[in-house]
Chains A and B, each alone.
Chain A
Amino acid sequence: MSDVFLPLLVAIPIVLSVVPLIAGLRYERAGWPIAFVGSITVTAIAGYVAVTIASSGRLIHALGNYPQPYGIELVGDELSALVALLIAIVSLAVLLYARTAGPRGNAFYSGYLLLTGGLFGVALTGDMFNLFVFLEITSLVTYALVASDRTSGKAAYAAFKYVFLGTVGASMYLLGVGYLYVATGTLNMRDLQEAIASVGYGDPIVQAAFGFILVGFAIKVALFPLHTWQPDAYTYAPDSVSAYISALVSTASAYALIRITYGVFTQSFLEANDLIVTAILVVASVSIVVGSLLALMQTEVKRMFAYSSVAQFGMIVAAIGLANETALFGAILHLLGHGLIKAGLFMAAGVLATAYGARTVTDYAGLSRRSPYAVGGMTLAGIALIGLPPSIGFLGKWFMALGAVEAGAWGVAAVIFASTMLTLAYVFRLVEMLYFRSPSAARTDESAAVEVPDASTDGVAAPDGGSIDRVTVAQVAIVVSIGITVIALGFSWELFADYLDPVLGRFFA
């Protein structure tokens, strides 16, 4: 009976998303409490689902009691449960952060709830076309959230570009689904797995379908050279939104790519199509190197983190192409870890920008003395991003590199190593500024410098509760807890290995 919780995860936030708009007609500030209730509820459900799956195996819920392939089903296995848990936790963290950081308005909270529900839909659906519908719900809301700062024309232009690339990506995916339908006549993922096997892995329509789906997701996760929407979107979006979408939106697409590659096309398809595998590895490797180099060249901190994501998703896609269990285990760890790390980094950047107007690397000089806790959290997340042990970033990169060596793909292993060096360089540049440069040596904008009530002082929201120019304890506390979490998870690989064992067993039967 636990399977009824799967549709609830999708439905609760979506149904609740109507409430802020209606309540907003009477109450100006109705949005946040409603979103909070929704977010707490789905976090509890996601936790319960994750535990249930660990004890009793994967959950399958046939919607409307129409079993597959006649109807649509939601599938909660170990992988989707972890992704759902990540979505729930990061959403909650972003919501706590956004209470004072903004953006404001009931429409924002409606959008927030829709995005949360849409992401759960992507994580749980077992149907190819239903996945498209939920991808589009998430994309549609994401475009709007990027442009939610109505004073920023740059944000609107970034969102406009995102609309085009995002929709072309989704359309390529839909075309791939159409090809699969022509080849097999079905859309359910589990049904397709058998149908593709019987059509044959060398069938040109099946190969073309995979190609279109891959290109679609390459745009959605922002692989070089299809990444052009991503840096502007992450840079010009409001800080809370940058944290939310960088942590979850591309992550959901990368998850869907894993699900489709291994749950629909299967490892045997990759083994039968060397050319496709080579193409994946080459494009992903280029993405890793170019993304890291571009990150190194940036002076604006948010843009640096944005290009860093191009490299990290390159790594995840490369690991998907390696088609062995070790690499995929690493890819899943890195997918989850990267989501947490980027949420922490963008929120920390938001704290420093709100408090000191610091948005470039040089602005960061000496900030460790003025805001030790937020900077500490940022540094911990930075360490995890480099992949130094112990951290979740280390585990992900370690297993991906190990998988590359196992597969004999020395090039990929070398590229991961090179990227780690480049990441070390740009994160170290930031850390050096924060800790070892005096603020007087670098220019600071006095007018923007507001005293920060850091966790050391008894900081509370501004007396009127409405100013977003000040940073609250809650915001700093979230950054610090994420920093500690991504380090602590560095000791957890056996936990993840045990938990993911059944799903990896199904993928690599």
Chain B
Amino acid sequence: MTDGSVLGLITTRYAYLVVVFVATVGLYMMIANQNLVKKLIGLNMFQTGIFLFFITSAYVVDGSSAIVPADGAGGPFASPLPQVIVLTAIVVGVSLTAVGLALIIRLYAEYGTLRADALREVIADE
């Protein structure tokens, strides 16, 4: 049913590749950027990759959104469950961001820097 070649992967599962790419850029930001705020943006981006995964899994070509009229006409429809999951996960994500930012404010008040490398040095000397 599906094409197992690399070309097939690119032409028919392109959205999943975008998922991987976005999550990878997020991972890169968490590792490589020294600014704490940018690290947190990276964490956010990593999560958005997974949201896109769920939305892609719910999508049907030529379908419509999952609003079914009383007579059940229309369709095919997108799968509602992954969309519900993403709605919840987005809210969970922003809550985590809020806590991460609160910690950043605490760290800045304590050490006066937002750079991870500088922080590590100060903390090692404490």
Contacts and interface: CB of A to CB of B under 8 A. Distances in A.
Interface string B64-107: 00000000000000010110010011001001100110111011
B38 to A, nearest CB: 12
B106 A140 contact: no
A143 B54 contact: no
Contacts of B62: none
Contacts of A175: 50, 53
B65 to A, nearest CB: 19
B57 A167 contact: no
Interface residues of B, number: 32
Interface residues of A, number: 27
B123 A157 contact: yes
Interface in B15-68: 27, 30, 36, 39, 43, 46-47, 50, 53-54, 57
Interface stretch (A4-12, A146-154, A446-454): A146-154
A168 B100 CA distance: 13
Nearest to B119: A157
Given A136-B96, A175-B50, A175-B53, A167 B106 contact: no
Nearest to B27: A168
B63 to A, nearest CB: 16
B30 A164 contact: yes
Contact of B103 (A156, A182, A185): A156
A181 B36 CA distance: 34
Contacts of A147: 103, 106
- Interface of B, secondary structure class, is helix
A174 interface: yes
Contact of A178 (B57, B104, B111, B123): B57
Interface string A122-153: 00000001001100100010011001001001
Contacts, number: 74
Q: Which of A164, A175, A182 has the most CB of B within 10 A?
A: A164
Nearest to B44: A167
Classify the interface of chain A: helix, strand, loop or mixed: helix
Contact of A144 (B30, B79, B85, B99): B99
Q: Which of A132, A150, A154, A167 has the most CB of B within 10 A?
A: A167
B43 A167 contact: yes
A160 B100 contact: yes
Give the 8 A-B CB pairs with smallest separation, nearest first: A153-B110, A156-B106, A160-B103, A136-B92, A163-B100, A178-B53, A182-B57, A156-B107
Interface of B: 27, 30, 36, 39, 43, 46-47, 50, 53-54, 57, 79, 81-82, 85, 88-89, 92, 95-96, 99-100, 102-104, 106-107, 110-111, 119, 123, 126
16 contacts: A132-B89, A133-B88, A133-B92, A144-B102, A150-B106, A153-B123, A153-B126, A154-B123, A160-B36, A160-B103, A160-B104, A163-B100, A167-B43, A175-B50, A175-B53, A178-B50
